[in-house]
Chains A and B, each alone.
Chain A
Amino acid sequence: MNGNTWLPLLVIASSLLPGLIIFGLAENRVRLRIALNLVGAIVKLVLVGWMLWGTSQGLHYEMRLVLLPGLELVLRAGPLSLLFVSLSAVLWLVTTVYAIGYLEGSPYRSRFFGFFSLCVTATVGVALAGNLITFLVFYELLTLATYPLVVHRGTEAARRAGQTYLIYTVLGGALLLLGTVWLYTLTGTLEFTPQGFLSEVGEEHHFALIIIFVLLIAGFGVKAALVPLHGWLPQAMVAPAPVSALLHAVAVVKAGAFGIVRVVYDVFGMEFASGLGVTGPLAWLAAITIIYGSMRALFQDDLKRRLAYSTVSQVSYIILGVAIAGPIAAIGGVVHLVHQGLMKITLFFCAGNLAETLGIHKVSEMNGVGRRMPWTMAAFTVGAFGMIGAPPVAGFISKWYLGLGALEAGQGWVIIVLAGSSLLNAAYFLPILHRAWFREPPDAWPEEHDFGRKETALMLLLPPVVTALMALAAGLLASAPFSPLEWAKLIAVREFYQP
């Protein structure tokens, strides 16, 4: 049954239009800008909710626009799309609130929020893309929309980081384009199909398909920060905290990981990809990234850089889950898409709060900060435990399914990787927690701002607490209906068991 054709487009427009209007706003129209942002975010949430409900009722939302004969822009709301769309919509709202609080009184806010909205638009577009070309379109838009956010501060370091970011992503985009076009010349279609659309391709092209796979993965791997394509991510930390949060939790990094999920499931198809023998190396690559990222995180004193390397490591959980080639691992990978988002955004919010309230940027400055900002650090603690994979936070659920999936697929080595990563995660998160809660606070913080009786501004405090609660809920209530886990199961069923 077909639902409203325009709904996917409306979901995209709900952030695009406010963004475009905001670009035109004068710097001092603060109220209007906030209103636009929030209305956009709430409308998007409502629309996504509508779409979720409709899809669960069996409605089918799809929109098509012909680009070239045989080449269409397609927006479609499937289970996988909805998972990512919901994540983006929810986190956008939260991040918007946070960003409003964070950027109060700083210059160039119109520009910031404009690109911010564009960034979300692109992410939602990536999520809803119904074929590879649409994905590519929004993926590139994402590159362009994020760049101004990375360099927003305008310092020399920001400019350099922006440059690095661009070099990586533009290169990745080029590889992606190449792979896409090549694929198109072989198949004549790019439509995402459960279990892939390549089974018709003849034997003689299999080598080409392997190269295409490598190209596509490399293209997406840049944003997903797969080693050795991760170099831009830690540098991009010069951006303001809401950007880092969005960059790492939802938009950029996830778009890359999501792309890999799409490639493996809906382009190649799990079965076909395993037949080609490409998932094994992918799993290894993901494993290396997981360990490497954690190792590097261990040695960072800068809090945000530590978190960034942690992202490098964690995002590859998703890829690992996808590459293990089994339904249960797939659940783990896909659900981690959401879980990691919730947990990492919490961590970045908290890092932003520390920087904004107390001027703390380094781990070594965090002594006793838990007593000064208990709520922030409580949220941080939840996030950190989630990253370690300790119950009951959401990360535990992901790790559980990944491990189980690895056992099921007969790839025991993955367990060792997971264990090693958890260990390393503990090694770089627990000392932070220890410092924050048990060390004596210093006499003076590096740069303290006064917020009266509260530990920090409410707009800054609420978002991390909310996301931390969500991360907790996603773990505790994993088996409740509409939980991320349940969606992930649905997706895995569609990929593995439907005829």
Chain B
Amino acid sequence: MGAEVSDIPWGLVLILLPLMGGMACFLWPRVTTMLGLVTVFGVALSVAGLGWQILENGVYRHAVGGWGAPLGIDLYADGLSLLMLTATALVGLGVSVYSAAYFRREDATRFWPLWLFLLAGLNALFLSADIFNLYVTLELMGLAAVALAALTGGKDALGGAMRYLLAALLGSLAYLLGVALLYHGFGTVDITLLGQRVESGPVLWAALGLMGAGLLLKTAVFPLHFWLPPAHASAPAPVSALLSALVVKASFYILLRLWLSIFGPLVGEEGVDTLLGLLGATAVLWGSVQALRQTRLKLLIAYSTVAQIGYLFLAFPLAAAAGVTAWHAVIYLAFSHALAKAAMFLVAGNLLRFGGHDRIADLDRVVQRLPLTTGAFALAGVSIMGLPPSGGFIGKWLLLEMALAQGRWDLVVVMILGGLLAAGYIFKVLGRAFTQAEVTHKSRAVPACMEWAALLLAIGAVLLGFLAVPVLSVVGIGDPFGVSGVRP
């Protein structure tokens, strides 16, 4: 039996199961919540199965249709993919449990199929090793995300979703043109093969420009972050959690993969990576300052996402000299941010449900009544601020260490300032938790599972701080950072 379990192609289950689940939800709307939950649990189990396989046998590769690259499409999972899949599964689980209580019947029938397709898109994206296939998954994910963002209806949500859709389309079209150029230039769309075949030249530069800009737009890097706050702030809370925690990370993942395997080794000295670092630094500062200025909680969290994404890009200028450690830091930051940010948006959802608004200045009436929720926000905040011993701390520690070792004082200052500003906006909210005020308006009860979902995700973000050694050793499977880890 054990042998059979290990033979199951878990990677494929990861894609097919949510697809089937989504279609099932579409066909049987009456039991949609149950179908959705079962599917998501199944996906989580499959990630565990895949993880086990990868730990046992190393890198997972599957030639779809038996053709193999370059003719066919390869699925590929190394430590990096596994980590992203794990993050997806964990956040997905939390959000799903939350959503089961959050959405009422009518909304549930709309939410679940879209979310399961989004999950399928994410899983497919993290498993793909083919840049055209990545485009398709990107669109799958993008359309699902837009539809989810528009779920609440109303002016704000629709406007936000529209903006999001246009940005997403612009980004993916730019990416697609880059794919076209790369294919016609080097005759393949498989990442590994491309990595072997590419050579520097106008085609590569143009492709980098197009794909880079497209993915940066989708990742919402400053100054291309404009679509993110309205979209994330006006979506329903679980959707915001998914968008901030996972969707943005997915396009970053593609960018990272492309950089590591295709572009990184070939581009000129200290050009692109400096630019990316600069964008990241600006994003950190700008996003944090904007977050600090917000008067509504969800916008604050959304701008915090802008800032936290900035951190991911600080690794690019450092990677040339520091190699693998820089990417470790990035991966760790992305992972812990996914958990923490999901928790934060869920918290915002709880507060919204309880108090009917998310104006920070009036939160004091709400926060005290939901201690678990407040605790979740605080714990998630610990990770966002990068305070020890959270996952965010490990990431920031690694980044800081490298920046100091390389004498990059500019980045050091940015990171420290970013942390301080983060503390500013986190405590802007938490400070309300202790003001004594009467509850003057009617409030709606918040189901326990909604509170616990947020809390568990936040605890996860903090616990990550203790798991750095195993997690980073898993990430190293398949040597995803080997190619451009150190510039020759």
Chain A CB within 8 A of B427 CB: yes
Whether A33 sits at the interface, judged by CB under 8 Å, is no
User: In angstroms, how far is the closest chain A Cβ from the Cβ of B463?
Assistant: 12
The residue in chain B whose Cβ has the minimal distance to the Cβ of A148 is B434
By a CB distance below 8 angstroms, the chain A residues around B472 are 68
Question: A181's contact among B375, B401, B433, B436, by CB below 8 Å, is which?
Answer: B401
Q: Given A68, A141, A151, A170, which contacts B468 in the complex, CB threshold below 8 Å?
A: A68
CB-CB under 8 A from A136, the residues of chain B are 388
For B468, list chain A residues within 8 Å (CB).
67-68
Complex contact A151–B416 (CB within 8 A): no
Interface of chain A, main secondary structure? helix
Q: Is A173 an interface residue (CB 8 A)?
A: yes
Q: A210 interface residue, CB < 8 Å from B?
A: no
Instruction: Determine how close the nearest CB of chain A comes to the CB of B315; give it in whole angstroms.
Output: 15
**Of A23, A66, A163, which one neighbours B431 at CB under 8 angstroms?**
A163
**What's the least CB distance linking B309 to chain A, in Å?**
21
How far, in angstroms, from A456 to B382 measured CA to CA in the complex? 41
Known: A67-B394, A68-B468, A140-B388. A174 touches B419 (CB 8 A): yes
Contact string, A102-119, partner B, CB cutoff 8 A, digits 1/0? 000001000100000000
Q: What's the least CB distance linking A498 to chain B, in Å?
A: 31
Smallest Cβ distance from A202 to chain B, in angstroms? 15
A2 at interface by CB-CB < 8 Å: no
User: Which listed residue, A65, A151, A170, touches B434 by the CB 8 Å rule?
Assistant: A151
Q: Is A57 an interface residue (CB 8 A)?
A: no
Among B394, B412, B427, which residue has its beta carbon within 8 angstroms of that of A68? B394
Taken together as a complex, chains A and B put the C-alpha atoms of A365 and B466 apart, in Å, by 53
A133 and B382 alpha carbons, distance in the complex (Å): 16
Pair A111/B400 contact, Cβ less than 8 Å: no
A178 / chain B contacts, CB cutoff of 8 Å? 400, 404, 412, 416
Asked if B448 CB lies within 8 Å of chain A CBs, one says no
Q: Is the CB of B434 within 8 A of A158?
A: yes
For chain A residues 181-240, which have a beta carbon within 8 Å of chain B? Answer: 181-182, 184-185
Chain A, range 123-169, C-beta contacts under 8 Å to B: 133, 136-137, 140-141, 144, 147-148, 151-156, 158-159, 162-163, 166
Docked Cα-Cα span, A494 to B426, in Å, equals 43
CB distance from B169 to the nearest CB of A (A): 41
Interface residue? B387 (CB, 8 A): yes
Name B387's closest neighbour in chain A (CB-CB): A140
Nearest CB on A from B123, distance (A): 29
Question: In this complex, which of B388, B420, B433, B465 has the most chain A Cβ atoms within 10 angstroms of its Cβ?
Answer: B388
Q: How far is the CA of A335 from the CA of B454 in the complex (A)?
A: 46
Is A69 positioned at the interface, with any CB of B under 8 Å from its CB?
yes
B: number of interface residues (CB 8 Å) = 31
Q: Are B404 and A68 in contact (CB under 8 A)?
A: no
Q: Which residues of A contact B436 (CB under 8 A)?
A: 107, 153-155
- Are B416 and A154 in contact, CB atoms less than 8 angstroms apart? no
Which residues from A are CB-within-8-Å of B423? 166, 170
Q: Which residue of B lies closest to A154 (CB)?
A: B436
Shortest beta-carbon distance, B229 to chain A, in Å? 25
CB-based nearest A residue for B413: A178
B479 to chain A, nearest CB (A): 17
A358 interfacial by beta-carbon distance below 8 Å:
no
Asked if A458 is at the interface of the complex by the 8 Å CB criterion, the answer is no
Knowing A174-B419, A178-B416 touch, does A111 contact B371 (C-beta < 8 A)?
Answer: yes
Are A65 and B419 within 8 A (Cβ)?
no
Distance in angstroms from A332 CB to nearest chain B CB is 32
Q: Does any Cβ of B come within 8 Å of A73's Cβ?
A: yes
Residues of chain A lying within 8 A (CB to CB) of residue B430: 147
Contact A144:B382 (CB < 8 A) given known A170-B420, A181-B400:
yes
0/1 interface trace, chain B 364-376, chain A, CB 8 Å (1 if under): 0000000100010
B469: which of A66, A158, A163, A184 is its contact (CB, 8 Å)?
A: A66
Q: How many residues of A contact B (CB 8 A)?
A: 39
Partner of A166, one of B404, B427, B469: B427
State the Cβ distance, A151 to closest chain B Cβ, in Å. Answer: 4
Is A174 within 8 A of B420, CB to CB? Answer: yes
CA gap between A23 and B371 in the complex, in Å: 9
A418 within 8 A of B: no
Contact of A159 among B378, B389, B419, B431 (CB under 8 A): B431
Whether A144 and B387, one on each chain, are in contact in the complex, defined by CB atoms closer than 8 angstroms, is: yes
Judged by a CB distance under 8 angstroms, whether A404 is at the interface is: no
CA distance A206 to B420 in the complex (A): 28
Q: A133 to chain B: which residues have CB within 8 Å? A: 388
Q: How does the 8 Å CB contact mask read for B464-476 relative to A, with 1 for contact and 0 for none?
A: 0110110010000
A409 located at the interface, meaning its Cβ lies under 8 Å from any Cβ of chain B in the complex = no
- Inter-chain CA distance A69–B473, complex, in Å, is 10
Q: Quick check: A159 and B388 within 8 Å, CB to CB?
A: no
Segment 34-48 of B: residues with Cβ below 8 Å from A = none
The minimal Cβ–Cβ distance linking A184 to chain B, given in whole angstroms, is 6
Centre residue among B405, B420, B423, B466 by max chain A CB count within 10 A? B423
Q: Which of B378, B388, B404, B435 contacts A185 (CB 8 A)?
A: B404
Beta-carbon nearest neighbor of A135 in chain B? B388
Chain B residue numbers with a CB within 8 Å of A23 are 371, 375
Verify if B135 is at the interface (C-beta below 8 Å from A). Answer: no
Tell me how far the C-beta of B474 lies from the nearest C-beta in chain A, rounded to whole angstroms: 14
Select the residue from A67, A141, A158 with max chain B CB neighbours within 10 A.
A67
The answer to the question of B194 belonging to the interface, with a C-beta cut-off of 8 Å to chain A, is no
Q: Are A73 and B404 in contact (CB under 8 A)?
A: no
CB of B397 within 8 A of chain A? Answer: yes
Given contacts A140-B387, A181-B404, A68 and B434 within 8 Å (CB-CB): no
- Report the separation of the CA atoms of residues A185 and B406 in the bound assembly, to the nearest whole angstrom: 9
- CB of B124 closer than 8 Å to a CB of A: no
B398 interface contact, C-beta 8 A: yes
**What's the least CB distance linking A407 to chain B, in Å?**
41
Q: Which residues on A sit within 8 Å (CB–CB) of B465?
A: 67
B335 to chain A, nearest CB (A): 14
The answer on a CB contact under 8 Å between B427 and A177 is no
Q: B397, A68: Cβ atoms under 8 Å?
A: yes
State whether the Cβ of A171 lies closer than 8 Å to any Cβ in chain B: yes
Chain A residues in 8 Å Cβ range of B389: 67, 73, 137
Contact of B435 among A67, A111, A147, A159 (CB under 8 A): A159
Cα-based distance from A151 to B405 in the complex (angstroms): 39
Per the bound structure, the CA–CA distance linking A65 and B469 in Å amounts to 10
Q: Which residue of B lies closest to A169 (CB)?
A: B423
Contact B469 A69 (CB under 8 A): yes
A137:B394 contact, CB within 8 angstroms: no
Closest B residue to A73 by CB, please name it: B389
Q: Which residue of B lies closest to A184 (CB)?
A: B401
Nearest chain A CB to B306 CB, angstrom units = 21
Residue in chain B with minimal CB distance to A173:
B387
Report the nearest A residue to B422, measured CB to CB.
A170
Across-interface contacts of B405 in A (CB, < 8 A): 185
Give A66 to B473 CA distance when docked, in angstroms.
13
- Give A149 to B146 CA distance when docked, in angstroms: 43
Map CB proximity to A onto B402-445 as digits: 1 under 8 Å, 0 otherwise: 00110000001000100110010001001101111000000000
Q: How far is the CB of A156 from chain B (nearest CB, A)?
A: 8
What is the minimal beta-carbon distance from A398 to any residue of chain B, in angstroms? 32
* B387, B433, B466 interface centre (most CB from chain A within 10 Å): B387
Residues of B within 8 A of A173 (CB): 387
Contacts of B466 in A (CB 8 A): 65, 67
Q: Which residues of A contact B398 (CB under 8 A)?
A: 68
| Cα distance, A195 to B378, chains bound together (Å) | 38
- Closest B residue, CB atoms, query A136: B388
Q: In the complex, what residue of chain B is closest to A158 when comparing beta carbons?
A: B434
Chain A residue, CB-CB nearest to B470: A66
**Chain A residues with CB below 8 A from B435, complex form:** 151, 154, 156, 159
Q: List 14 A-B contacts (CB under 8 A).
A: A23-B375, A67-B468, A68-B397, A68-B398, A140-B388, A144-B382, A148-B433, A153-B436, A154-B434, A162-B434, A163-B427, A177-B400, A182-B404, A185-B404
Q: Which 9 residue pairs are nearest across A and B when measured between Cβ atoms? A: A154-B436, A137-B388, A151-B434, A185-B405, A181-B400, A170-B423, A185-B404, A140-B387, A68-B468
Known: A136-B388, A163-B427, A182-B404. 5 other contacts (CB 8 A): A67-B466, A163-B431, A170-B423, A171-B420, A174-B420
